[in-house]
Chain A
Amino acid sequence: EVELVESGGALVKPGGSLRVSCAASGFSVSDKDINWVRQAPGKGLEWVSAAYSGGGAIYADSVRGRFTVSRDTSKNSLSLQMNSLTADDTGVYFCARDGDNAGYMFDLWGQGTLVTVSS
């Protein structure tokens, strides 16, 4: 079955760090661009990052310098390392596959993992 499964969401204090992961099955993360999209409670979708299959990543202005994406091909997964977290980073974090690399059309989404930043 082709799917994405996120994990690692938690309650973290402001200024803290957290690493969330996205495990893929049914396809190789080495072959597809994977994006992170988040959704604050009761709000809309906000793009966070794109990790390109050929290497490299880009980030939204709101997280650049604080968030870093990495790929673990041995586990067929990606991770999003989040540092210097603030309340504005609270939300459900989804990973999403770009069905047409650099086409930015997200044809497969995980179920999301909840990150809560609060003291």
Chain B
Amino acid sequence: SYVLTQPSSVSVAPGRTATITCGGDNIETKSVQWYQQKSGQAPVLVLYYDEQRPSGIPERFSGSYSQHRATLTISRVEAGDEADYYCQVWDFSSDHVVFGGGTKLTVL
């Protein structure tokens, strides 16, 4: 089955840039979604189809690919960005939705 790999944690100071990666076989051929989940809340879609932002999501959130990994970049990080972040794809070969294990973003 298809596996998405994320770092378990990332720490960043306020005002700096956070980068969260998501690795998987040939991930460049898939559309990647990113979700933010704050403690005790439901997930919120922050990026879809690799780099598209839903309405209401700040431009500080952006998506890209680098070195065979999808990347979520959060610029000018704020305390309110502290949350768990999950990447997600549709795996055509298995007809399954796949989530990464999640990355806990800590704002120092």
Please report A residues at the B interface, Cβ cutoff 8 Å.
Answer: 35, 37, 44-47, 50, 58, 60-61, 94, 96, 99-100, 103-107, 109-112
Contacts and interface: CB of A to CB of B under 8 A. Distances in A.
Contacts of A44: 84, 86, 99-102
A103 to B, nearest CB: 7
A47 B48 contact: no
B97 interface: yes
Contacts of A110: 42
Interface of B: 1, 31, 33, 35, 37, 41-45, 48-49, 54, 84, 86, 88-90, 95-102
Most B Cβ at <10 Å: residue of A44, A100, A107 = A44
Contacts of B54: 99, 107
A104 B43 contact: no
B95 A58 contact: yes
Given A45-B102, A58-B95, A103-B31, A109 B44 contact: yes
